[in-house]
Amino acid sequence: MSSGLSRLLDWLKSVGIWWDESLVEIRAECSGCSGPALGVFALQDLKENQLLCMIPRTTILSPCTTQLARILEQEKLGGGLALTIAVMYEASLGAASRWAGYFASLPSREYLPMFWTDEELSLLAGTALEGKSQEDRCVTIPTCSLYPNLRKNVACGFPRNHICS
């Protein structure tokens, strides 16, 4: 078992997440995945409505459960952008985050377009995502500048010398 998976399983149990280990197994190194991945696999045929796991709401990282919840609400940030900021902030806290065990199991970099260079973003030309990352940056960067903790822990994830037009 990989150390990342072992840390994740320990964290899941420590925060009260339960799964029926006779029915499902969490594994590392999924075949057919495009990168580092974990997967949940059925160990037998499952019945409809069969209870496989229980996840307390308090263990779910969201814009409502992050330490930044008040700021995100105050700035009227929601959806995917608020979740991105929440994840970046909580990850930047390291062991001080309630989700440290979860973050320890993730790849070291997330490849979201919001953090791509302009050259990488040009690959989105002609798609529904064209320009969306620029819009998200133009909301996030000024918001980060208003709050020292955000500026220190979140804004550093953006490409250097980014200017919103």
Amino acid at 155: A
User: What is the chain's alpha carbon radius of gyration, rounded to the nearest angstrom?
Assistant: 18
Residues in the chain: 165
Per-residue pLDDT of the chain (165 residues; tens, 9 = 90+): 677 788 889 999 999 999 999 999 998 866 655 456 678 889 999 999 999 999 999 999 999 999 999 999 998 888 888 888 898 889 889 899 999 988 888 766 656 677 777 787 788 888 877 877 777 777 766 766 666 666 555 544 554 444 443
For residue 135, give the 3-state DSSP assignment: helix
pTM summary value = 0.64
Q: Give the number of other Cβ atoms within 10 Å of residue 66's Cβ.
A: 23
CA distances from 92 to 25, 85, 98, 113, 116 (A): 29, 11, 12, 19, 19
Q: Are strands 38-42 and 24-28 parallel, antiparallel or unpaired?
A: antiparallel
